[in-house]
Every structure is written in C-alpha cells, then in structure tokens.
Amino acid sequence: MTDKDVKQSYERSAQRMRGDQKTFAASLTDQDYNDPNLHQDIHERVKIDYNKMDKMPNMEEVHKWQRDHIAKDDQSKEGYPLNVIIDPAMREMYQVVHDAGMTNVFDRFSQQQPTQCKFCIEGLSCQLCANGPCRISARTPRGVCGVDAHTMVARNFVYRHVTIGTSANIFHCHQAARTLKAAGENPESGLRIRDLEKLKKYADMAGLNVNQPIDKLAVEFAQWVMDDIHLPHHIESKSVETFAPTRRKKLWRELDLFPGGGYSEVAYAQTRCMTNFTSDPVDFLLNSVRLGIANEYQGLFLLDIIQEILMGTQEIQMKQQNMGLLKENMVNVITNGHMPLLAHVAIDLASTDEWQEKAKKAGAEGIQILGHVCEGQQLINYEGMHNQKAYGGQEGEWLSQEYLLATGVVDLFMFDYNCTVPTMPIFAKRFGTKLLSTHPVIKLQGTETLDFIPEKMSQQAEKALDMAIEAFITRKSQNRQTYIPPHVSDCMVGFSTESVKKALGGSFDPLIEQIANGNIRGIATIVGCTTARYGQGGSNIFKITKGLIENNILVLSGGCTSAVMEYTGLTNPKAAEECGEGLKAVCQQLGIPPVLSYGACVDIGKMTHTAKELADALDVDTNKLPLVIGAPEYLEQKAVADACTAVALGWLVHIAPVPSITGSDLVVKTLTETTETLGLGKVVVEMDAEKTIQIYVDHIEEKRKELGLN
C-alpha cells in the first residue's frame, strides 16, 4: 500500500463515520492548538491593556464586598463569571485576559455551554469498545454489548474516576518514598531528613529496627513503603494493617474490602472494567471503596508522613497569600503541582547568599520562589520553609494560573503533577515566562521536562534557578509592560494533627471538651478544588464555610479550598468575629481562626489522622464522630478517590457539582444509602449552599445525639 492509499483509506473511513471527507481537527486553525510553535506571531497579535480593568479596593474593603456579594445570592448564569470570582487578584486579571481575547478557563466554560452532553453528565455513555460509542435512553436501554444503565454508570465511575485518582495518589507516595530513599543513600542529593522523630515513630510502627543509623532507617522505611505499594492485590497491605483504625479493619475484612498492593489494586479494578468482564454494579461500587482504602494508606497518609520527614512537620504561623506577593524587580519563580520535592531543594538553594548574589548581578533585588495551588499550600505549612529567605508565599488556586502568568512578572513556572493547565505554553510565550516540568509524568507541548531523579535534585534545582534568572534578564531588557494586582491576605496556616495537639497543650482533650460542652458542635473538612461552573469559582466554598462557622462548626480546609479561605479572610484569627458564640469564644481564647488550613488536597491524609486520634481518644469507631467531609467544588479524579476513602472510614461526604452517576437510581441509592447500612459512610449531592449547610448541621447533631451529647 502506498502512503496515498493509506490516506485515502483513512478518509473513506472518516467519511463513513462522520459523513464528510476529513478529520474534524483539520477545520481548526493553528491558534486553536496549545503548541506555541504553531503560532509564532502570537506576541504581536495579542494586545494587553492593564489600564482598562475595574480595580478592586484594599483588602479590608474586598472582604466586605465578598460578604455582601454572596449574601445577594446571584452566582448563577447571569453575570458569569465575574459574579463567581471573589478572589480580588483573579477578578482583575480575568478582565485583562478576557479583553485581550485570549483563551482562559472561565471563558472556555461559557463556550462549552450548552453542548455539554446530557448522557455523559449522567454517566450513560460508553466508549470502551468498537461497537460504540453507546448511549442509554428509553429507546436504547442497553449498549451494543448488552451492558445496562446501572453497570455502565458504575463501571464509568470506577474506571474513569476512582482508578485514576487512586493511582495518582499512590504514584505520588511512590515518588516521595524514592526521594526519602535517595536522601538516606546519598545525603548530598538535595533533600535532607529533617524530622528524625517522625521517621523513627512510623518506622517503629512498621516493625523496623529503629536502633540503626538514621540514614539506613530512612532507606529501610522508604523500601518498606515501596514494597507495600507493589504487593499483589491478593496479599493484604501491611501499611493498611499498620495504620488503619482497628474497628475499621475488622469491618473491611468482613466486607472483603481490605486491599492488597495499591498499584495492583488499580490494575485489578481496571481489568474488571474491560468489556464483558464484571457487570455487577454494586460490586463495582464496593471495589471503589476498597480502592479508597488503598488511596489513603498507600497514598495520602504515607506521602504526607514522608514529605514531613523530608521538609519538616507543619507548624502554625502567620503567612501571606496572593498575587500581590510578586515583585516587579525580583526574579519570580512559581512552583506548581502537588509534590514540592524539587521545589523545596530550589528554595533551599535560592536562600543561600550565593544565589541571591547571582540574582543581584543580573540586576534583580533578589530571587523568590512562591507556591501555587496545592504545592503552594504545602510549602506554606512546612516548618522547613518558615525561615527560608527565598520563600515568597502562596499564590492562588488552580483557576488563577493563566491569569497569574498574564501579570508578566513570572520568570519561571516550574511544575510537577497535577493541575498545570494545557494552555500554559501559550501564556508562557506571550508573557515571557519559562516553563519547566520537573517530572516526565507531565509533559506539555513545546516545554522542557526534567527526568525525576531524586539523587540529582541539587543540580536540577540549579538549572531551574539559572533559567529563572535568564528569563528575568530578558524581561528587563525588553522593558516589558507588567501589572501586579496589589492584593495580599494575611493568614494563619500550618495546622495538622501534631501542631493542633501542641497548640492545645499536648492532647486533644481540650478540643474534645469544647465539642462535648457544645461550644463546638462538630467538625467539617472542606476540601478539594475550585471549579469554573456556574455558582462555583470559589463562591460556593465561601458561602458554605461562612454558614458552618456561624453554626459553631469548626472547619478544616485542604486543597484549593484553602486558597479560598485565605483570600476571603477566613484563615485570619480576626474571622472569629464571624462565628457563632461558642466557636467564637474558643477561637478567641486560643487565638486561632475558625478555619484551620491543613494545606493541600493531599493533606487530607493529615485530617483523617486527626480524626482517627479523636476517635481513639473517645474510644469510638471513626463513623461515630460528629464530622462531615465536604467537597463543594470537586473537580478531578483524585477528589473522587478521596471521597471513596471517606466512605470507607464511615463519613458523610458532600459533593458538588453533581457527579456523573445520576443515570442509575441503583448507583445513586447504593452510594447515598446502602453503604451506610453496611457501616460505611455515604455520599450526599447538593448544589444549594443553604441546603448544604443544613445537611451538615443535621448530620452533626445526629452524631452528637448518638454519642450522648446535646
């Protein structure tokens, strides 16, 4: 066959499938692609005007405006997106980007309406085999293979959400363990072992010999973790056995939910999803819960511990957040993602006089590194960061990254996984930012990627800093126009099981006492992402959290929700004023805010740890706690896996927007009712903020009653 024959055969097939002669993408233009090499002249064509936007007032006024604005309840389609964006910096920069006609997340959401497919929204479409794609309707109740609606929805749930999310968190844990091993074997590699006591404590729990040199212990513990992750699915996981609550483990064994090695669990679940394998929908859902357990104990929980061993345990501090921390005359580096390993080495290095001098020689006042999204929420919390000269603070949530680059002052944007949007190369090109991926698991078009080599982190960090300084020199030599939104929030951060306990004087008793006497009715963890949907964009998180603290519910945050808490002032101790009387008194007495930022979405592992310790102190199972897990703006697959973790631990999980399960009443009933009857938790889906608050309050009151509290 000649090349021409191949091409013609392909075109004939395309015609049969679509009724025309070409592939669809052929009708797009070069500027519709994210590869910056395809649009050489974009720099000239996109005109940026920093003077046209409506500027936001000072932070105090902004906080007032945010509160008045959500009280009006007009976050719907009309007035979108400026009616949902409540971050003052993002509001300003959205206008700049939108007016310049550049692609951006909020405008893309608008463009996708109303074409978003009803079948996909409900989980009723399948593209797994070549007989498809199939869609389920009253006229076509089965896919070509014979699959019915319940199976299709449940299988999509496991395959498209839970397995990906679980695997991502376990992968993260695996990378952290590799780094700990490198730190033990090769102490010059970059990351140091900072929290020796923590390493000893968990290595001891794992049954390792802690009376050996600390470097050797680090290697052994890291290997123990990696070996566990890599067990076959049919051999019980040692980390689940070691770290999970005793009563839960018994239940999980009874229900056949006790997982083996995490990677193998994911592979097993995906195998079951293959065409004409498992078709029992309930079994798929229980498999999701099993993955949720692996997600926690071979993912979140252990990765948090390992990262703290390497970067220092969380420590309560006042810090700052938002774009106003960027400095026109400094080399500005942003580090994005969830795994701040190389970022930490870079901050270490940039904090040395040598590198500050290098930056000064390039004409800058110095070099600073700021964290973005969850990576930033982790960096702001670690004790190891708190006295680092080059650490610049926390930027924002994932929605704001395109707008952040549009300031024109970001010299280097380095990222691991996840949450670096695919349009970054276009923004980088237009605004003179250098991009650097620090893990091959995320490669962007036209962008340099480093291999992940924990043994070489120091050299890699040097390379990153050199790139940043070079970009700064170019920025200045081109005399580029820039604008830094002047907004900065003061926030109290660094909460975790240990730091909270320490603040309480060494035990959870004072907190339990406040819960028992009713000053604090219960705890809600508000975690996960922010979405671009109508009614969301951070505003749903803010509304719900305000309502909870007014009802004396203490809130823990983790993920991009933490950014929302920061720019709305809820992580400032002053926010105690906004609470109900009981919570207000507690916050004022302790000098803490009503929202305790645990950091990133991956720090959910720390929240479950706190909850376990509270349950242990009360000598009850975890499902007895007056606790609700909320993800009011969940976005991606890790969040779904995390919801499965919460169900495994027996908690009520609120999620919004509506996940793609509504196409099957059986799936909805199983996740929202049946699981609870088995001793697991359950899911509740609610979009309305007022109703959501009431659901949390009612659940907490019910749990209080069960515990004999009033």
Q: Which residues bind ligand XCC (CB under 6 A)?
A: 338, 373-374, 397-398, 418-419, 528-529, 559-560, 600-601, 635-636, 638
**341-350 vs 163-185: helix axis angle to the nearest 10?**
40
How far apart, in whole angstroms, are the C-alpha atoms of residue 427 and residue 201?
45
- Which residues in 497-516 are b (16+ Cβ under 10 Å) and which e? bbbbbebbeeebebbeebbb
Conformation bin of residue 665: beta by default, left when phi > 0, alpha when psi is -120 to 50: alpha
Phi, psi of 650 (to 5 degrees): 95, 20
Contact predicate 248/649, CB 8 Å: yes
CB 267 within 8 A of CB 233: yes
260 burial class (0-12, 13-18, 19+ CB within 10 angstroms)? buried
Q: How far is the CB of 377 from ligand XCC (least distance, A)?
A: 7
Return the number of the residue (399 or 488) whose C-beta is nearest ligand XCC.
399
Nearest to 367 by CA among 406, 330, 318, 422: 330
Cα(288)–Cα(270) distance, integer angstroms:
11
* Cα-based distances in Å from 499 to 132, 525, 598, 619, 652: 53, 17, 10, 22, 26
Kindly tell me which of 419 and 548 has the beta carbon lying closer to ligand XCC: 419
Q: How far apart are the C-alpha atoms of 251 and 256, rounded to whole Å?
A: 9
In this structure, which long-range contacts are made by residues 129-132, counting pairs with CB atoms below 8 Å and at least 24 apart in sequence?
A: 129/275
CB of 629 to ligand XCC, least distance (A): 14
Exposed, middle or buried by CB within 10 Å (0-12, 13-18, 19+), for 445? middle
Q: How far apart are CA 278 and CA 155, in angstroms?
A: 9
| Terminal alpha carbon distance of the chain | 80
Residue whose entry in the numeric block shows the structure tokens 């780094």: 179
CB of 498 to ligand XCC, least distance (A): 22
Q: How far is the CB of 365 from ligand XCC (least distance, A)?
A: 30
Diameter of the chain measured on Cα atoms? 82
Task: Pick the closer one to ligand XCC by CB: 46 or 170.
Answer: 170
- DSSP string covering 62-92, please? HHHHHHHHHHHT--SSTTTTTTT---HHHHH
Contact 602, 168 (CB under 8 A): no
Cβ atoms within 10 A of the Cβ of 28, count?
Answer: 10
CB of 558 to ligand XCC, least distance (A): 8
User: Quick one: 96 or 374, whose CB is closer to ligand XCC?
Assistant: 374
Asked whether the CA dihedral 202, 207, 210, 216 is positive or negative, the reply is negative
d(CA 273, CA 671): 19
Name which of 149, 116, 115 is nearest 662 in CA terms: 149
Residue 53 · residue 96 · CB < 8 Å: yes
According to DSSP, the residues that pair with 435 across neighbouring strands are 413
Q: Minimum distance between the CB of residue 560 and ligand XCC, rounded to whole angstroms?
A: 3
- Using an 8 Å Cβ cutoff, are 552 and 523 in contact? no
C-alpha span between 188 and 461 (Å, rounded): 13
Shortest Å, Cβ 431 to ligand XCC: 21
Q: How far is the CB of 568 from ligand XCC (least distance, A)?
A: 16
Using DSSP bridges, classify how beta strands 412-415 and 652-655 pair: parallel, antiparallel or unpaired.
unpaired
At position 520, the amino acid (one-letter code) is I
Task: Name, in order, each residue with C-beta under 8 angstroms of 173's C-beta and a sequence gap of 6 or more.
Answer: 225, 229, 262, 298, 299, 300, 302, 303, 306
Q: Which residues of 609-648 are buried (b: 16+ CB within 10 A; e: fewer)?
A: bbbbbbbeeeebbbbebbbbbbbbbbbbbbbbbbbbbbbb
Neighbours of 129 (CB within 10 A): 15
